[in-house]
Chain A
Amino acid sequence: AQSVTQLDSQVPVFEEAPVELRCNYSSSVSVYLFWYVQYPNQGLQLLLKYLSGSTLVESINGFEAEFNKSQTSFHLRKPSVHISDTAEYFCAVTIYNQGGKLIFGQGTELSVKP
């Protein structure tokens, strides 16, 4: 069975510092990978996705993630965070040809302090 592990439940950082949110997955078949962001009391927003092609994917607000097949990881990074990046971040995988069912990690709460 497939699973997703987000290694850090909470990540506190100072504004303008770099951050990495870690995500590892377990699957015996090919997967597609996603990062979602959830602001308080809101739904999830798709941040970025890896389906195929370049293993480095970027979002419009400065986040990037790299798919590493050998390490089964899809870590999310940002070189300089802002207060507005404070939110919960979810890593998710879906398996090809299984109706798009997303399997989520437990989430990482990113807290950016001034």
Chain B
Amino acid sequence: QSALTQPPSASGSPGQSVTISCTGSSSDVGGYNYVSWYQQHPGKAPKLMIYEVSKRPSGVPDRFSGSKSGDTASLTVSGLQAEDEADYYCSSYADGNVYVFGTGTQVTVL
């Protein structure tokens, strides 16, 4: 199972929006509505931000939103804040009852 493809980096100024893509195939992203997104600050464990493509766990700000079209999922962070600077990973359930993560995107708040 190959890793899902994410851009290595993304950036935006405070208050702006940034969108991160996550491209897979019909065997994972395109085949299931089980895409999730994780935020990871340096030295910390990942934190779930979005599950089932677009749902937010309790406590996650509504500045974070998710969507999917075909084999590509996206995470949008609106109203960027300094604390949003982190690495972001997507993940998808895949054929064969396995999971695959994305390559990761480093988000910088300018």
> Does A associate with B in a complex?
no
The interface of chain B, by Cβ under 8 A from chain A, is none
